[in-house]
Each structure stands twice: as C-alpha cells, then as structure tokens.
Amino acid sequence: MGARRRRGPLPGFGLSLGFTLSYLGALVLLPFAALVLRAASLTPARFWELVSAPRAVAAFQLSFGAALAAAAVNLLFGLLVAWVLERYRFPGRRLVDGLVDLPFALPTAVAGIALTALYDERGWIGAALAPLGIQVAYTRLGVAVALVFIGLPFVVRTVQPVLRDLEPALEEAAASLGAARWQTVRRVVLPELLPAAGTGVVLALARGLGEYGSVIFIAGNLPGLTEIAPLLIMIRLEEYDIAGATAIAATFLAASLLLLFAVNLLSWRQGRKAAVG
C-alpha cells in the first residue's frame, strides 16, 4: 500500500505558495535581476572605476551614514514616543498619536520643501541655530534631519502594539522581586520591546536609504559633499550614462542588503543579550 502524503489541516498550501512566489518574482526579483544583468555586462575593471570614483564614494558614504544616524536617532525617539503614547493618558493623546503618521502621508517633496523652509538661514529654526554656528539646510546634517523626519513612524508603530500587549504582571513581578523602576525597564521591558524596535529600525533604515524626494530639497546637492546616492543615479541616467547608473545602483543595492541583514542580526542578538544582562 502506498502511503498517502500527510496533509496539513489548511487547504490550498500549494496554490497560495505558488502565487506568492510568482508575485514576488514578477514584481520584486525580476527588476533586481535586470539590474544585476545590466551591471554584469560591464567589465570588472570598468565597474570598479565607476563605483570607486570619488563622487560615487562620497555619495555612498553620505547615504549610508545619514540613514544609519537617522535610524539610530529614530530608535531612541521612537521608543520614547511609543512609551509616552502607550503609558500615559493626557489630553490630546489621540491627536499626537495621529500626528505620528503624518510623515507617511505627506508627499515627500512637500516634506522636503517644508523642512528646507524651516532650517534655511531665514527659517524659524535655521535662524535660531545660525548664531550658534550650526547650519542645517544644505549640509549633511540636513540630510540626516530629513531622514529622521520620514523614518520616525516606523519605530513608533512597530513598538506601540508590543508595548500595549505587554503583560502588566511582568513589571509587577519585577517590582515585587525588588527591581527599581529603571532596572525593570532595562532588564524586563526593553528586552521585550527590542525585537519590535529592531524591525522598526530596519524599516526606517530601508526607507532612509531609498529616500529621494524630501532629501534633494534640503541637501543642496553639491557633488561630493551633499549628494546622496539615489540622486547620483538619477543624474547619471539623465546623462544617458546607463552603465554608470547601473553600476552605482547595483553596488548600492548590494550594500543595502548587507547592511539591513547585519542590522537585523544585531537587533536579534541585542534582544537576547539585554534580557540576560
């Protein structure tokens, strides 16, 4: 007697997996493959020459540096905002909660123009900072500020539900065992939040790496100084330098993947480590 293959209780596994894979393939993998293919048509020496040009290197540095810095800032403030929104009851809480989503909803160009207007030397904040010798608009700092703005909702929105569902008994148990408030937060609450916060950071980082619209207004776009990688790719395309564009794009893609992977791994480890203390 031939043994029948055991089936799970849920029907349609084959169909849904097939659909998922074809969908991902057509919409995500195919463009990537095309990009890699294009880049592969270059000789390695030419590829390296294009990618290691000072302007390209500076763009990479800025893009990754600013995105990482912004994600780090967002981790801190995202946790804080989520904590305040979930743990305290104050008038206008719902309004503040709604405001968090604003960077999602705003067209990025609008965000960019608004930020530029604010941080420009004649803008409200820019004018206040100018006497201190801090210039935000048209500098690398400006790039980071724009990325902080658009990345904030990710950490808040991933941490919030976890914080809301966190069993109160955990904190009560810690308190009854003698842990001071800060010890409870550090050893019990944060470890529970870190996986979600890590996810939020990865999302914010990914968004920051790919961000274009808001940054180009505030950055000033000086080649080699405040020019981000996506903009450089755009410029190359506009110059009909398809090979240059694909080389930079493929490198950017590979580096982004590596970075996201590394951050994911780190946040997973960190969650474990913080719990152990």
Residues that bind other proteins (CB under 8 A): 167, 169-170, 172-180, 183, 187-188, 191-192, 271-272, 274-277
Report residue 121: phi and psi, to 5°: -55, -30
Minimal distance, residue 197 CB to other proteins, in Å: 14
Cβ-based nearer residue to other proteins, 132 or 169: 169
Minimal distance, residue 273 CB to other proteins, in Å: 9
Q: Is the separation of the CB atoms in 228 and 59 below 8 Å? A: yes
Residues 152, 203, 87: CA angle, nearest 5 degrees: 45
- Residue 162 tokens read as 């976890």
Distance CA 52, CA 55 (A): 8
Distance CA 272, CA 197 (A): 13
Distance CA 67, CA 154 (A): 13
Minimal distance, residue 171 CB to other proteins, in Å: 9
Minimal distance, residue 195 CB to other proteins, in Å: 9
Cβ-based nearer residue to other proteins, 151 or 198: 198
Cβ-based nearer residue to other proteins, 172 or 239: 172
Cβ-based nearer residue to other proteins, 173 or 242: 173
Cβ-based nearer residue to other proteins, 182 or 240: 182
Distance CA 18, CA 133 (A): 58
